[in-house]
Amino acid sequence: MIAIRVIVYTGKGGVGKTSVAAATALRLAKLGHRTVIMSTDSAHSLSDSLQVPLSGEVRKISDNLDALEIDVQHELEQKWTEIQNYISEFLGSQGVEPITAKELAVFPGMEFMSALFYVEEFSGREEYDAIVIDTAPTADTVRLLSYPDVANWYFEKIFGIVRNLIKIARVTVGKVMKTPMPSDKVLQDIDSIRRRLAKVKEIMTDPEQTSVRLVVNPEKMVITETMRAYSYLSLYGYTVESVVINRIFPEDSGDGYFRDKLEEQKEHLAQIEVAFSPLKMLRANIFSTEIVGRNSLQLLADMLFGESDPFEIYSTEKPMRMYEEGDTQVLALKIPFRIDDSRRVELYNRKDLLIVTMGGYKRMITLPHSYASKEVGGAEFEDGWLKIRFREAEEDGRGAEEEGD
């Protein structure tokens, strides 16, 4: 089975993610790759960009090209009824009003999970060669991409709670039980969610399969936010493999206002080169009008890809490495930019669990067995990598903190 190719576009609001994603999908389809484009932004604009009506159901829009805009309500009704009903029944039994219980049953991040499940679903069928994902602005996307980690934790917990409930139920047989027991179907559903999340994570963090592409404009604020996103995405194990610089004023932009703009832009372009090199850079000029409909999207694709194929993988560097240095084991995490100098990166280690916290984001890493008897001996930043050194533990695992510089 040939692995499906996943291309994710992310970036600050309004930089051109939807346009670039749509242009990519059209080009892929034109080159013969069976492609599906999916928007995970609840404020969907993919349909406007492609000028075709879209919905929460996959729809064929032209040869080799299908599209959908994720619709949480639709997903819930179609796929989550069992679990949702159980959770609201459970909450109801604990005295929560029925209406509130129903609302609470929509657990956090459900919409993100729906999107990720499509990736898993499509990868299992052999209908597509490529999935292009158009996302919401960066902060939401980082949350989306951190989701397999977080959800896994959440579901381990739920699974534990449910198992305990069953145990309690066994010892209290004969007594009146107020708590409703989950049906076998609910248990199977929860277990299937865990398995599917693990699969999604495997696909999405395999650089031979998944590429995250950052869309940026030559503007100061945009660059700063994109640098931050690069660090967070790396922290969560995603390979950022290229940068799309969109809305570049062409050299012959005329005089007056545009001359000044052009000078300012040159500095920003240089800044992007420095910040993101050696990542592959794809470039597109600013259009005189909005990019709407196939013709202008094809023009955008020409600028971005020229004769090349968007299917190409530009980098397969993994943002996590484990190696030995003398007799210390090192775990290195790619963190290209420090998020905020006033905030520290914190490390917590206990047995085989390492938690790295950075600017409000938390990554939980399960360490291999060989690390179980070790503890964090120190950590420092070096050339865009956070090198965490492990040494034999003197006692049971302990927390450690890293000061930044």
Residues making contact with ligand ATP (CB under 6 A): 11, 13-19, 41, 45, 137, 246-247, 284, 286-287, 290-292
| Minimum CB–partner distance for residue 70 and Mg ion (Å) | 13
381 touches, from Mg ion, ligand ATP, none (C-beta below 5 to 8 Å by class):
none
Which residue, 17 or 363, has its beta carbon nearer to Mg ion? 17
Which residue, 35 or 135, has its beta carbon nearer to Mg ion? 135
Which residue, 141 or 234, has its beta carbon nearer to ligand ATP? 141
Q: How far apart are CA 117 and CA 111, in angstroms?
A: 10
What HEC string does the chain produce? CCCCEEEEEEECCCCCHHHHHHHHHHHHHHCCCCEEEEECCCCCCHHHHHCCCCCCCCEEEECCEEEEECCHHHHHHHHCHHHHHHHHHHHHHCCCCHHHHHHHCCCCCHHHHHHHHHHHHHHHCCCCCEEEEECCCHHHHHHHHHHHHHHHHHHHHHHHHHHHHHHHHHHCCCCCCCCCCCCHHHHHHHHHHHHHHHHHHHHHCCCCCEEEEEEECCCHHHHHHHHHHHHHHHHCCCCEEEEEEEEECCCCCCCCHHHHHHHHHHHHHHHHHHHHCCCEEEEEECCCCCCCHHHHHHHHHHHHHCCCCCCCCCCCCCCEEEEEECCEEEEEEECCCCCCCCCCCEEEEECCEEEEEECCEEEEEECCHHHCCEEEEEEEEECCEEEEEEEECCCCCCEEECCCC
Closest CA to 19 of 394, 272, 250, 301: 301
Closest CA to 1 of 118, 127, 132: 127
| Minimum CB–partner distance for residue 40 and ligand ATP (Å) | 10
162 touches, from Mg ion, ligand ATP, none (C-beta below 5 to 8 Å by class):
none
Q: How far apart are CA 272 and CA 245, in angstroms?
A: 9
Span from 37-45, 295-303, 309-317, 341-349 in contact with Mg ion (CB under 5 A): 37-45
Q: Which residue has the tokens 């001996």?
A: 377
Which residue, 201 or 247, has its beta carbon nearer to ligand ATP? 247
Span from 27-35, 43-51, 89-97, 352-360 in contact with Mg ion (CB under 5 A): 43-51
137 touches, from Mg ion, ligand ATP, none (C-beta below 5 to 8 Å by class):
ligand ATP
| Minimum CB–partner distance for residue 226 and Mg ion (Å) | 15
Which residue, 22 or 339, has its beta carbon nearer to Mg ion? 22
Q: Tell me if 141 contacts Mg ion by CB under 5 A.
A: no
320 touches, from Mg ion, ligand ATP, none (C-beta below 5 to 8 Å by class):
none
Q: How far apart are the first and last CA of the chain?
A: 47
64 touches, from ligand ATP, Mg ion, none (C-beta below 5 to 8 Å by class):
none
Span from 11-19, 109-117, 297-305, 394-402 in contact with Mg ion (CB under 5 A): 11-19
| Minimum CB–partner distance for residue 137 and Mg ion (Å) | 8
Span from 41-49, 203-211, 241-249, 321-329 in contact with Mg ion (CB under 5 A): 41-49
Amino acid making up residue 313: I
- Exactly one of 9, 12, 18, 26 binds Mg ion (CB under 5 A); that residue is 18
| Minimum CB–partner distance for residue 281 and ligand ATP (Å) | 15
Which residue, 43 or 176, has its beta carbon nearer to ligand ATP? 43
Which residue, 217 or 349, has its beta carbon nearer to ligand ATP? 217
287 touches, from ligand ATP, Mg ion, none (C-beta below 5 to 8 Å by class):
ligand ATP
Which residue, 294 or 351, has its beta carbon nearer to Mg ion? 294
- Token pair in block for residue 268: 């920003």
302 touches, from Mg ion, ligand ATP, none (C-beta below 5 to 8 Å by class):
none
231 touches, from Mg ion, ligand ATP, none (C-beta below 5 to 8 Å by class):
none
Which residue, 9 or 155, has its beta carbon nearer to Mg ion? 9
Residues that bind Mg ion (CB under 5 A): 17-18, 45
